[in-house]
Amino acid sequence: MNQEHEHIETLISKFLVGEATETEISELKEWCALFPENQKYLDDAQLIFEKAQLPGLPEFDSEKAWIRLKSGILPEERKSAPLFPIWKVAAALVLLFGLVYLFLMLQTPVQKFQFISDNQPTTQLMPDSTEITLNTSSEVSVAYNERQKAGTIHLIGEALISIPEQKKVNWTVKAGDLLIEDIGTVFHVAALPESPVVEVSVQEGIVRFYSNRQEGITLHPGERGSYDKASETFSKSTADANVAYFKTKALNFQEEELGSVVAKLEEVFGRSIVMEGEIDTCRISVAFENESLETILTIISETLGLEVIQETDLIRLKGDGCF
């Protein structure tokens, strides 16, 4: 009788962890059909085992547990006594490991960082090698928990965020009520308090741009997502190739109208540039890297045949038109 009991316990153990063969499953079903108590015994075992399962824990090896149990966990002289069900041992161990796991998760301190960029762009490196570059007059507060694989960046202003391909945590950027969720990427966020829109431009990878109330949009490389604060609507357009100048110090214009080029130069250098003559629609293709505004304007003026006049509070570009 004791051997039969041990055999049934082994079948139940293997059945619960998915290791039972078709023959063993059939044998277990026949045993359950003999008496209602047998079926209840199996149902109770399955309920306890399922409630004890927690994600991320090692699976129970019924054979190893059974060998350990026979080789010394129970005293030799008590082998004739009814065997304590092996599935109860497994469930108890799984539950214990799970509670320890949850305890450690809850006890792991969240690392917090705060960075402010005043007059100069600044770059900060997170513990997982994620890079956050802030433009001037911007700030972030960061909560980082590697054990929970979660990181949150609260942004006010403008930032370029570069997340490594082999990322250790899943990052979410919060800009007010808006959220940007990365999928391994490099992206730029402009969330200026005084601006009527929040913009996200993707250089690499994919991001989700959404709010707690709206599904939002998914952005791919070369795309810009805009959120209009007044209408609470999302839209897509082509990303500005020079949006991260504050980080890269590179400008690239391809068949751009001079008016657009001048607007970008005013933005990145903080100088007022006035165009005189019918030159705003003149197109130019040119690239710059780590060049001063004076050098850039000199090259543009020579290319388009313009005159540059430096004044105290502004710069004038004069010309008779395009040629």
Same domain, 124 and 228: yes
Using H for helix, E for strand and C for coil, what is the string for 161-226? EECCCCCCCEEEEEECCEEEEECCCEEEEEECCCCCEEEEEEEECCEEEEECCCCCEEECCCEEEE
7 and 99 fall within a common domain: yes
Boundary (domain end) residue, out of 182, 205, 238: 238
Inside any domain, residue 130:
yes
Is residue 254 one of the residues assigned to a domain? yes
Domain boundary among 92, 107, 122: 107
Residue with tokens 């007022």: 272
Same domain for 88 and 184, yes or no, is: no
Do residues 30 and 132 share a domain? no
- Clarify whether residues 122 and 101 are in a common domain: no
Going residue by residue through the chain (323 aa), what tens digit of pLDDT does each one get? Answer: 456 767 887 888 778 777 788 888 888 888 888 877 788 788 877 776 666 554 544 454 545 544 544 444 444 444 444 445 665 566 666 665 665 555 555 555 789 999 999 888 999 999 999 999 999 999 999 999 888 888 999 999 999 999 988 778 889 999 999 999 987 689 999 999 999 999 999 999 999 999 988 999 999 999 999 999 999 999 999 999 999 999 999 999 999 999 999 999 998 898 999 999 999 999 999 999 999 999 999 999 999 999 999 998 899 999 988 86
From its phi and psi, is residue 63 left (phi > 0), alpha (psi between -120 and 50) or beta?
alpha
Question: Are residues 221 and 307 part of one domain?
Answer: no
Q: Kindly state whether residue 259 falls inside one of the protein's structural domains.
A: yes
Are 295 and 177 in the same domain?
no
Do 116 and 216 share a domain, yes or no?
Answer: yes
pTM of the model: 0.62
Give the structural domain span for 226.
111-238
Which helix (H) or strand (E) segment holds residue 258: the answer is helix 258-269
Task: State which H helix or E strand residue 102 sits in.
Answer: helix 86-107
Choose the final residue of a domain: 79, 107, 135.
Answer: 107
In a domain, 244, yes or no: no
- Number of structural domains, the chain? 3
Same domain membership, residue 178 and residue 163 = yes
Let me know if residue 181 belongs to a domain.
yes
Residue 311 within a domain: yes
User: Are residue 117 and residue 227 in the same domain, yes or no?
Assistant: yes
243 domain-assigned: no
The CATH code of the domain that includes 288 is 3.55.50.30
For residues 103 and 120, membership in a common domain is answered with no
Helices 22-34 and 36-52 pack at an angle, to 10 degrees, of 130
Look at residue 193 and tell me if it is in a domain. yes
253 with 222, same domain: the answer is no
